[in-house]
Amino acid sequence: YGSAGSKLYVRETQCPYCSVQCKMTVEEVAGPIAGERRAMYTVEGVPNEASQGRLCVKGMNAHQHALSGQRLLKPLIRRNGELVPCSWPEAIQLITKRFASLRDRHGADTIGVYGGGSLTNETAYLLGKFARVALGTRYIDYNGRFCMSAAASAGSKVFGMDRGLTFRLSDIPRAQCIVLAGTNVAECQPTLLPYFNQAKENGAYIIVIDPRKTATAAIADLHLQVKPGMDALLANIMLKIIMEAGLVNEQFIGARTHGYEQLQNALSEIDLEEAAVQCGVDLSLIRQAAMAYGQAETGMIMTARGVEQQTDGHLAVRHFLNLVLATGKIGKPGCGYGAITGQGNGQGGREHGQKADQLPGYRSIENEQDRAYVAAVWGVEPESLPGKGVSAYEMMERVHDQEIRSLLVMGSNPVVSNPNVRLVEEGLRKLEFLVVADMFLSETAKMADVVLPVTAYLENEGTLTNLEGRVLLREQGRPAPGEARHDWDILCSIADGLGKAPYFQYGCAEDIFNELRMASRGGIADYYGMTYERLRREKGIYWPCSSLEDTGEGLLFVERFAHDDGKAAFTSELSPGWQDVSREFPLILTNGRVLPHYLTGVQTHRSPTLEARELENFVELHPAAAARNRIMDGEWVEIQSVHGSFNVRARIKENIREDTLFVPMHWGGIQNVNRATRPDLDPYCRMPGFKTAAVTIRPMRLA
Residues forming contacts to ligand SF4 in the complex (CB under 6 A) are 15, 17-18, 20-22, 51, 55-56, 58-59, 189-191
Identity of the residue, 141 or 611, whose beta carbon is nearer to ligand SF4 in the bound complex: 611
- Assess contact for 222 and 210: CB atoms under 8 A: no
**Residue 576: half-sphere exposure toward Cβ, Cα within 13 Å:** 3
Question: Please, what is the minimum distance in Å from the beta carbon of residue 437 to ligand SF4?
Answer: 23
Smallest distance from ligand SF4 to CB 35, Å: 32
Nearer residue to ligand SF4 within complex by CB, 51 or 412: 51
Cβ closest to ligand SF4, residue 457 vs residue 690: 457
Beta carbon nearer to ligand SF4, 15 or 439:
15
Q: What's the CA gap between 248 and 268, in Å, rounded?
A: 15
Closest CB to ligand SF4: residue number: 59
Give the shortest CB-191-to-ligand SF4 separation in angstroms.
4
How near is the Cβ of 21 to ligand SF4 at its closest, in Å?
5
Which pairing describes strands 7-14 and 23-30: parallel, antiparallel, or unpaired? antiparallel
Q: How far is the CB of 15 from ligand SF4 (least distance, A)?
A: 3
249: which residues sit within 8 A by CB, 6+ positions away? 326, 327, 328, 329
When the beta carbons of 315 and 339 are compared against ligand SF4, the nearer one is 339
Residues written for the chain? 703
Minimum CB–partner distance for residue 471 and ligand SF4 (Å): 15
Q: How far is the CB of 29 from ligand SF4 (least distance, A)?
A: 22
Cβ of residue 552: shortest distance to ligand SF4, in angstroms?
Answer: 20
Asked whether 434 and 409 are in contact (CB, 8 A), the reply is yes
Nearer to ligand SF4 by Cβ, of 289 and 467: the residue is: 467
∠ Cα 93 99 103 (to 5°): 145
127 touches 136 (CB < 8 A): no
Q: Toward ligand SF4, which CB reaches closer, 46 or 518?
A: 46
213, 218, 221, 222: CA torsion to nearest 10: 0
* Beta carbon nearer to ligand SF4, 539 or 563: 539
**What DSSP string runs through 51-66?**
TTT---HHHHTTHHHH
- Give least dist CB 215 to ligand SF4, A: 13
Give the three-class secondary structure for 240. Answer: helix
CB of 455 to ligand SF4, least distance (A): 18
Report in angstroms how near the CB of residue 52 gets to ligand SF4 at its nearest. Answer: 11
Question: Which CB atom, from 188 or from 307, has the smaller least distance to ligand SF4?
Answer: 188
Among residues 60 and 569, whose Cβ is nearest to ligand SF4? 60
Collapsing DSSP to helix, strand or coil, 333 comes out as coil
Q: 117 vs 679, which CB is nearer to ligand SF4?
A: 117
Which helix (H) or strand (E) segment holds residue 316: the answer is: helix 313-326
Sign of the torsion formed by the C-alpha atoms of 633, 635, 641 and 645: positive
Residue 646: name the closest of 470, 471, 419, 480 by CA: 419
**C-beta neighbour count of 346 within 10 angstroms:** 27
Helix H or strand E encompassing 235? helix 231-244
What are 535-542's contacts with CB under 8 Å, separation 24+? 535/463, 535/471, 535/472, 535/473, 536/473, 539/23, 539/48, 539/49, 539/472, 540/48, 540/49, 540/50, 540/466, 540/470, 540/471, 540/472, 540/473, 541/470, 541/471, 542/468, 542/469, 542/470, 542/471
* CA-angle at 397, arms to 392 and 398, nearest 5°: 95
